Amino acid sequence: MAKQYDAKSIEVLSGLDPVRKRPGMYTDTSCPNHLIQEVLDNAVDEALAGHCSQIKINLFKDGFIEVSDDGRGMPTDVHPEHKVSGVELILCKLHAGAKFSGEDYNFSGGLHGVGVSVVNALSTNLSATIKRDGKIHQMSFSGGEKSKELKVTGEVGNRNTGTSIRFIPDPQYFESSKVDVKKLKHLLKAKSVLCPGLKISFSSEFKKDDKETWEYPNGLEGYLGDEIKDEEFLLKDSILSSKSNEDNSIDFVINWVMNNSKKLLNESYVNLIPTAQGGSHLNGFKSGLLDAIKEFCEFRNLLPKGIKLTSDDTINHAAFVVSSKLKNPQFAGQTKERLDSKDHQSFVSAATKDSLSIWFNQHTEEAELIADLAIESAQKRSKEVKTVARKKTFQGPALPGKLSDCNSIDLNETELFLVEGDSAGGSAKQARERGFQAIMPLRGKILNTWDLESSEIIKSQEIKDLATAMGVNPGETDLSNLRYGKICILADADSDGLHIATLLCALFLRHYKNLIQDGRIYVAMPPLFRIDCAKEKFYAVDEKEKDKIVKELGSKKGNPKIDIQRFKGLGEMNPSQLRETVMDPATRKLVQLTIDSKDNVNAMMDLLLSKKRAGDRKTWLEKKGKIARVDI
C-alpha cells in the first residue's frame, strides 16, 4: 500500500542538513579544493577590505587542512537576536554573513553567507581559532555539529588578530579526498596577483620542502610573463588597464603572441574568485576589445573588402587576465564559476573599449600588428567556414533535412523555424510564406549542450548546420552576421516535443544568450487539440484550454455535437492547419524567450540538464514526479 501523502510527509531540513543531503548544490564534489577556496575567499575578502596582508595554507599528513589569516578575526560576541556567538552563527547557519549590506565589505566574494558553513557541514572535524581583542578564542565541531563551546584559551597583543580554520574533509562526500595541489597553487598565485600587497604562503607535509610564497606588489604586471615563459609576445610591454566607479571596477592585462599557441593564459575573476565559465564580465571585455579593434581598423581603412571581425578573431592570439570587482554580483550558482550580472557587462565593455582605443591611437604601429593578427584570423575563418548563401528560387528545393531558405534578407521580417522532424518539416515548408519564412528540420533530440563549451558543441553536425543557417557561431557575441530577425522553436506539444524544445532553449541560453537578450528567440505554441462544433473550429494548446472551450460550447442551446481531435504531432497536421496555428503572424501563438535578473532559470536548467545533477534529478522526480505539471 502506498504511503499516504499528507502534511506529515513534508520534511523541513534545518541547520546544515541541506548541505549534507545535496552537497553537489553547494560545492564541487570531485575533490576538496573548493572547500579550501571557500575559506580562502573569506580571508581574501578581508584583504580586499584592507584588513589582511598575509594568508597561510597548510596541508598535513593526518588529513587536516589549515587556512589562516591576519584579518580582523571572526566576531566572538553574542548575536543579539540569535543568542549565539558570531563564530557559531557563521559556521553553523546557512545564509549568515556580514556581506549582504555591503557596509563591512565594499567588494567581496562571499555573498550568500553559505561558503564556510558548507565547509563545516562536509568536514568530519573542524576547529576555529580566532585572535581578537587581545585574546585567543577556540571552538570545535564534529560532522558539522558543535563539539566544544567557544572559549578563551590564551592572550595575544591587541594588534595580533586573525582567523585560522583547520578541518578534515569528510571523504563520503567527495569522489577523491586528495587535494589537487597543482590547481590549488595556481589559484593561490592568482589571488596574490589580483590583490597587490597580499602575501600568500603554502606548505605541504606530503612532499619534502613543498613550500611556496607569492607576493606581487605591482599586481598583474609580470604575471603573463611568469605563466607563459616560452612564447614570443607581440608587445614588449603588455597592456595594463584599471577603471572603476562607485559600484564596479575592471583591471586587465593583455598581450598577443606571434604564433597560435594552445598554452595561452585566458583567465577571468570576479572579486578575486576564478570564473572558469566566464560570464558577463568576460563577454563585456571581449565586446570592448572587438569594438576598439574594429574602430581602429575602420579609421585607418585596414579591413579588406568582405572581411568582418568577430571577438574570436581578436583574442585568437591573445593572452589575458580579467579581474572584475562589483557590488552584489549575480553568479550562476554557489560554485560561482560564471557571472550573470548584466549591468556589469556594459560597464566592462565601455571601460575596455575606452582604455584600448586610447592605447591603440597612442601606439599605432603596435596596434596595426594586433589588427593584422585579427584580420588574418578572420580571413582564415572565412575560408574554412562555408556560409550558406540565400537560395534563389531557380536553384530548386533544398536537400532533405537541410535549410529551406526564404527570399528576404530584411531582419525586420525574416523568420527561421526550427522544426522537429522531417515529416513536420515537409508540412511546414508547404505552410510557410516563402518570402520571409525559412524552415530548418531537426532530426530528433539535439545534443545536450548545458555542460559543454561552445568550442565543443560545434563538433555536432546538427548544431553546426544550425549555426551556419543562423550565421552566428556558439559563444559568438557579434550578431552582425545574423540572418534572421526571429528564430522560432517549433516542436510537438507532447512530452517528447517539450524535451526537444527544452534542449533548444538550453542551447540558446548557454551559448546564444545575446540572441535571447536581443529578443530574437521565440517558442511556437502548436495546438494539442482541435475542437469542432457545428461550423466552428477551435484549437487548444493543452488539456486545460480544451476543457474550458468544451465547457463553453456545452453551455450553448441545443446541445451541439462536439468533436475533439488530438494531434499526435506536427506531422499529423495538414499545411493549412499548421499555417493557421503556428506560422501565420495574424493567428499564431509565439512566446518570446526573455531573461529577468530575478529568474532562477539557470538553477532550474542546471537541475534539469546538468550531468553533475543526476542524483538531484532522481530525488526530485521521486518526490515531485507525481505532482509535476506543464504550463504552456
Q: What phi and psi, each to the nearest 5 degrees, are found at residue 588?
A: -80, 170
**What is the distance between the alpha carbons of residues 461 and 459, in angstroms, rounded to a whole number?**
6
> Catalytic: 17?
no
CB 132 within 8 A of CB 144: no
Query: Active site residue: 69, 70, 492, 606, which one?
Result: 492
Which DSSP category does 103 fall into? S
∠ at Cα 622 (566, 542), nearest 5°? 20
Q: Is 386 left (phi over 0), alpha (psi -120 to 50) or beta?
A: beta
Beta strand extents in 143-265 (DSSP E only): 145-155, 162-169, 199-204, 210-214, 239-244, 248-256
User: How many beta carbons lie within 10 A of that of residue 429, not counting itself?
Assistant: 20
State the first-to-last Cα distance of the chain, in angstroms, to the nearest integer: 34
Query: Active site residue: 496, 543, 545, 616, which one?
Result: 496
Q: Which helix (H) or strand (E) holds 384?
A: helix 364-384
Query: Active site residue: 66, 69, 420, 606, which one?
Result: 420
> Catalytic: 175?
no
**What is the distance between the alpha carbons of residues 115 and 117, in angstroms, rounded to a whole number?**
6
The residue assigned the cell 538550453 is 506
Distances from the Cα of 593 to the Cα of 87, 404, 505, 513, 579, angstroms? 44, 24, 8, 10, 22
Query: Active site residue: 104, 494, 542, 580, which one?
Result: 494
User: How many beta carbons lie within 10 A of that of residue 198, not counting itself?
Assistant: 24
Closest by CA position to 423, among listed 565, 573, 523: 573
CB 309 within 8 A of CB 246: no
> Catalytic: 420?
yes
**What is the distance between the alpha carbons of residues 621 and 627, in angstroms, rounded to a whole number?**
9
Torsion angle of C-alpha atoms 617, 622, 624, 629, degrees rounded to 10: 80
Three cell numbers at 516? Answer: 535571447
Q: How many residues does the chain have?
A: 632
Q: What phi and psi, each to the nearest 5 degrees, are found at residue 76?
A: -110, -5
> Catalytic: 492?
yes
**What is the distance between the alpha carbons of residues 488 and 205, in angstroms, rounded to a whole number?**
58
DSSP labels, 565-613: EE-S-GGGS-HHHHIIIII-TTT--EEE----TT--HHHHHHHHH-GGG
Coil, strand or helix at 318: strand
Q: Which helix (H) or strand (E) holds 416?
A: strand 415-420
12, amino acid identity: V
CB 581 within 8 A of CB 492: no
Three cell numbers at 548? Answer: 474550458
Coil, strand or helix at 123: strand
**What is the distance between the alpha carbons of residues 50 and 500, in angstroms, rounded to a whole number?**
51
Catalytic residues: 420, 492, 494, 496
